[in-house]
Amino acid sequence: MAKIQARQVRRAFSIRNAKGIKENLTVLEHFSLDINEGEFLSLLGPSGCGKSTFLNILAGLDKFDAGEILVDGEPLQERSFNRGIVFQSYALLPWRTVIKNLEIGLEIRGIGKKERRRIARHYIELVGLAAFENQYPHQLSGGMRQRVAIARVLAYQPDLLLMDEPFAALDAQTRENLQIELLRIWETDKKTILFVTHSIDEAILMSDRVAFMCSRPGRITEIIDIDLPRPRTEDIRNSVEFALIRKNLWGMLQAEAAQIQSYGAYL
Amino acid sequence: MKNKLYKALDLFSRSIGLILFIALWEAAPRLGWVPGIYLAPPSRVFYALWLMAGRGELTRHALISLQRVILGLVVSSVTGVLLGLFIGYFKPVDRILDLLFQAFRQMSAFALFPVFILLFGLGELSKIIIIFWASLWPVLLNTSAGVKNADPVLINSAKSMGASKLFIFIKIILPSAAPEIFTGIRLGGSYCVMAVVAAEMIGASSGLGYLVLYSEETFNVPEMYAGIIGLAILGIGLNWILQSAEKFFTSWKEV
């Protein structure tokens, strides 16, 4: 059964244009997407196509104007304990140590102090940062901060993980390491992940399926199955299959020539 | 050993300006650059300080001033933080009140002192109110700015995990605003020390401000300067205490 069913979702913002006159900007229109239970789905599209808007709607941070979104067959709730989000900018609390940052989601759930600490310890070990549990976020590198943010959302144990270009701000090598690490963790418990990215390579490497979006207004144009074996490791990047899929996707994208440029942002 | 020497040298180099100033101050009346009856040399001022301390006079005046400052600052901090949190959190309230408060902030507490005397008489109450007024606005406006500046990504992150509004306010917004709240209180503290002098110069019979004015009127110039130095020490001491509290509560901040 589908974890998320989005049907004909529409989202428009009222903005003021250069002349100061109010205008409607339609970000999502006829947006439909099913996300299956336990799948890793990437939402790929150029900047400004509405990927993050859809993710924010799912996270309860934004509303939609028309259409229907079902979570486990029920209408989407604004407040829920079943989802967690990882932002590009880490969103760690600067006044809390690493371990206390991991506990915030569990505090929201109302879990007791001892149990919180136990769960947080488990996940901080999972991302290999046990030695840094008493450091503050500003003392860590970007890659370590994003590890903490991932550990925090995992410790919260949501059914649905939302990731908004989580690795986009990291350098190439750290990014590749974290991609593989996230896959390793995900392959052990297979939580549903919606992964927003504008990197084709990242989408192919990580996903079961890749959903392509076009912009203005944003909607899904194509959904591609990625038939690479799991567990996936570092080597898969250099495999013939990977190269073939990549070539196919690029070919497909050539058709939508107008938007091609912005896909090349980073690969 | 080396560390101690380094620390002594560090203190010395930072004190050069102060030492030069005291030397100049000592020389000016002694060499007749300035009439000695207007400017007592520091040696005599410190002697006066010593004598007054011995009589218990200095401590008595200082304690009274300190008491007024602390009372005014505590009341203004509590009021300023509570109001600031409320105003910063509710945008429409902020919109309605912002211009008014900016105007109040510019309105000098000294200019309002006659108004306070008319309304509350010459007693202790109007003195506390002038101190309260002087320190309220920096606390209030810094607090509301701190609340408004809380990073929306942090709030969204908690919200996506189903945090209640109260949880977000207490665990996210309040700690976010803490550094700015402390800056406001520290600023308010230094305004308090300024305001207490004015308050004690009009219709008072105690406090360091009174001491300075009374010594001037009775032409006891060394004691006048002693009172001024006492006020400087009060200001430095208060700032040091507030700074230590700030450091303790916001120790997580990157340096």
What letter represents residue B232's amino acid?
A: A
Decide: B126 and B117 in contact? Cβ < 8 Å: yes
Decide: A59 and A162 in contact? Cβ < 8 Å: yes
pLDDT for the residue numbered B180: 94
Q: What is the mean pLDDT of chain B?
A: 91
Q: How confident is the model at residue B254 (pLDDT cuts 50, 70, 90)?
A: low
Structure tokens at A21: 């006159």
Q: Give the mean pLDDT of A50-60.
A: 91
Comparing CB atoms, the residue among B162, B176, B252 nearest residue A81 is: B162
pLDDT of residue B155 exceeding 70:
yes
Place of tokens 């196919």: A248
Q: How confident is the model at residue A267 (pLDDT cuts 50, 70, 90)?
A: very low
CB pairs under 8 A between A and B: 64
Q: Give the mean pLDDT of A247-260.
A: 69
Residue B191 domain flag: yes
Structure tokens at B213: 């004015």
pLDDT for the residue numbered B4: 84
Q: Which residues of chain B make contact with A107, given a CB cutoff of 8 A?
A: 167, 171
Number of helices followed by number of strands (H, E) in chain A: 8, 10
pLDDT digits (tens, 9 = 90+) for B202-241: 888 899 999 999 998 888 889 999 999 999 999 999 999 9
The alpha carbon of residue A89 is apart from the nearest alpha carbon of chain B, in Å, by 8
Q: How confident is the model at residue A264 (pLDDT cuts 50, 70, 90)?
A: very low
Rounded CA-CA distance A73/A69 in Å is 9
Structure tokens at A180: 């593989």
Q: Give the mean pLDDT of A223-244.
A: 88
Query: CB count, 10 Å around CB of B245?
Result: 13
Cα distances (angstroms) measured from residue A74 to each of A6, A8, A35, A255: 11, 16, 14, 37
The alpha carbon of residue B151 is apart from the nearest alpha carbon of chain A, in Å, by 9
Rounded CA-CA distance B223/A129 in Å is 63
Interface test with B, best of A95, A145, A146 (most B CBs within 10 A): A95
pLDDT for the residue numbered A255: 64
Rounded to 5 degrees, φ, ψ at B146 are -60, -40
Q: How confident is the model at residue A216 (pLDDT cuts 50, 70, 90)?
A: confident
pLDDT for the residue numbered B1: 63
Rounded to 5 degrees, φ, ψ at A195 are -115, 115
Q: What is the mean pLDDT of chain A?
A: 87
The alpha carbon of residue B182 is apart from the nearest alpha carbon of chain A, in Å, by 15
Q: Give the mean pLDDT of A239-250.
A: 89
* CATH code of the domain covering residue B58: 1.10.3720.10
> In chain A, which residues touch B (CB < 8 A)?
56, 59-61, 79-85, 87, 89, 91, 93-96, 104-105, 107-109, 136, 138-139, 156, 158, 162
Is there a contact between A91 and B156 if contact means CB atoms under 8 Å apart? yes
Comparing CB atoms, the residue among A79, A139, A162 nearest residue B162 is: A79
Structure tokens at B8: 């002594």
B29/B122 same-domain check: no
Q: Which residues of chain B make contact with A59, given a CB cutoff of 8 A?
A: 156, 159-160
B245/B155 same-domain check: yes
B25/B117 same-domain check: no
Number of domains in chain B: 2
Residue B255 domain flag: no
Number of helices followed by number of strands (H, E) in chain B: 11, 0
Comparing CB atoms, the residue among A93, A108, A136 nearest residue B162 is: A108
pLDDT digits (tens, 9 = 90+) for A116-144: 999 999 999 988 899 999 999 999 998 89
Q: Give the mean pLDDT of A193-199.
A: 91
In this structure, of A246-255, B106-115, B176-185, the range with the lowest mean pLDDT score is A246-255
Comparing CB atoms, the residue among B151, B157, B175 nearest residue A85 is: B157
DSSP A57-114: HHTTSS--SEEEEEETTEEPPSS-SSEEEEETT----TTS-HHHHHHHHHHHHT--HH
B218/B232 same-domain check: yes
Q: Give the mean pLDDT of A31-47.
A: 90
pLDDT of residue B145 exceeding 60:
yes
| pTM for this entry | 0.84
Is there a contact between A104 and B158 if contact means CB atoms under 8 Å apart? yes
- Which residue in chain B has the smallest CA separation from A138? B254
- Which residue in chain A has the smallest CA separation from B176? A95
Decide: B155 and B168 in contact? Cβ < 8 Å: yes
pLDDT for the residue numbered B35: 87
pLDDT for the residue numbered A3: 87
Q: Which residues of chain A make contact with B156, given a CB cutoff of 8 A?
A: 56, 59, 61, 85, 87, 91
Residue B254 domain flag: no
pLDDT digits (tens, 9 = 90+) for A61-120: 999 999 999 999 889 888 889 899 999 999 999 999 999 999 999 999 999 999 999 999
Give alpha helix (H) positions in B31-56: 42-55
The residue ranking higher by pLDDT, A56 or A169, is A56
The ranges assigned to domains in chain A are: 92-157
Q: How confident is the model at residue B36 (pLDDT cuts 50, 70, 90)?
A: confident
pLDDT for the residue numbered B255: 58
What letter represents residue B4's amino acid?
A: K
B19/B77 same-domain check: no
The alpha carbon of residue A190 is apart from the nearest alpha carbon of chain B, in Å, by 19
pLDDT digits (tens, 9 = 90+) for B57-70: 888 999 999 999 99
Is there a contact between B250 and A95 if contact means CB atoms under 8 Å apart? yes
B152/B85 same-domain check: yes
pLDDT for the residue numbered A256: 62
- Which residue in chain A has the smallest CA separation from B255? A138
What letter represents residue B122's amino acid?
A: L
Q: Which residues of chain A make contact with B160, given a CB cutoff of 8 A?
A: 59-61, 83-85, 162
Q: Which domain holds residue B26?
A: 1-39
For residue B14, count CB atoms less than 10 angstroms from its CB and return exposed for 0-12, middle for 13-18, buried for 19 or more.
Answer: exposed
Place of tokens 């609340």: B147
